[in-house]
Copies of this chain bind each other. A is one copy, B any other.
Amino acid sequence: MTDRPIDALDRAKGKRIMVKLKNGEEITGILKALDLHLNLWLDEAEVQKSETKVRMGTVLVRGDTIVYASPV
């Protein structure tokens, strides 16, 4: 079966990923679930804003706000 782009993230379930957002922020977290809209459920999430890092625990990231995502 052919690989789909979303499989790049699907294989990273249970691992930490970095998500680049359209508003310039970067979030990292353990990928718990994702769907075809690229909505993401992250656990142990942290958001990096310029020089500050904020812990947020569980986060739902809306898919249409994502630029790219990458296992770290």
| B65:A60 contact, CB within 8 angstroms | no
Q: How far is the CA of A38 from the CA of B40 in the complex (A)?
A: 13
Whole-angstrom distance between the Cβ of A20 and the nearest chain B Cβ = 8
What is the total number of copies of this protein in its complex?
A: 7
Over the window 16-32 of chain A, the binary record of Cβ atoms lying under 8 Å from chain B Cβ atoms (1 yes, 0 no) is 00100111110100001
The residues in A between 25 and 72 inclusive whose CB is less than 8 angstroms from any CB of B are 25, 27, 32-35, 38-41, 45, 47, 56-71
Q: Count contacts on A: residues with CB < 8 A to the other chain.
A: 42
Contacts of A22 in B (CB 8 A): 22-23, 65, 67
Please determine whether B33 and A2 come into contact, CB atoms closer than 8 angstroms: yes
Which of B7, B35, B60 contacts A68 (CB under 8 A)? B60
